[in-house]
């Protein structure tokens, strides 16, 4: 089994996935947001957007936190279509 080590202190006491939460959020945790590219021809454009939940990996020794997109393949697809 592959052991994940903390990037900062090398500890193997890692916790994943840990839910993220924002105090400004009423329904969930942190999310990444990508918006459809702007169309210069359109005056009032309702831009599509992708919201991607973020999970955390936390070191149980030093507390270092890494963030991971829940579905990076989907995020990459939208990125390649020009979403930012």
Binding site residues, Zn ion, CB under 5 A: 6, 8-9, 11, 59, 61-62, 64
Rounded CA-CA distance 29/46 in Å is: 25
Residue 44 contacts by C-beta under 8 Å, 6 or more apart in sequence? none
Q: How far is the CB of 30 from Zn ion (least distance, A)?
A: 20
Among residues 25 and 62, whose Cβ is nearest to Zn ion?
Answer: 62
Residue 44 beta carbon to Zn ion: minimum distance, rounded to whole angstroms: 49
Please name the helix (run of DSSP H) or strand (run of DSSP E) that holds residue 34, with its range, or none.
strand 31-35
Report the residue number, 55 or 57, with the smaller CB distance to Zn ion. Answer: 57
The radius of gyration computed from the CA coordinates of the chain, to the nearest angstrom, equals: 17
Minimum Å distance from CB 13 to Zn ion? Answer: 8
Q: Which residues pair with 59 in a beta bridge?
A: 14
Cβ closer to Zn ion: 45 or 62? 62
Tokens in use for 5? 């080590």
């Amino acid at each position: 089994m592959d052991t994940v080590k903390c990037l900062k202190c090398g500890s193997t006491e890692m916790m994943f996935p840990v839910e993220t939460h924002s105090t400004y959020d009423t329904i969930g945790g942190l999310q990444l947001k990508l918006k459809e590219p702007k169309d210069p021809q359109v005056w009032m454009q309702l831009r599509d957007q992708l919201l991607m939940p973020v999970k955390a990996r936390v070191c149980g020794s030093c507390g270092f936190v890494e963030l991971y997109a829940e579905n990076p393949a989907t995020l990459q697809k939208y990125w390649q279509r020009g979403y930012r």
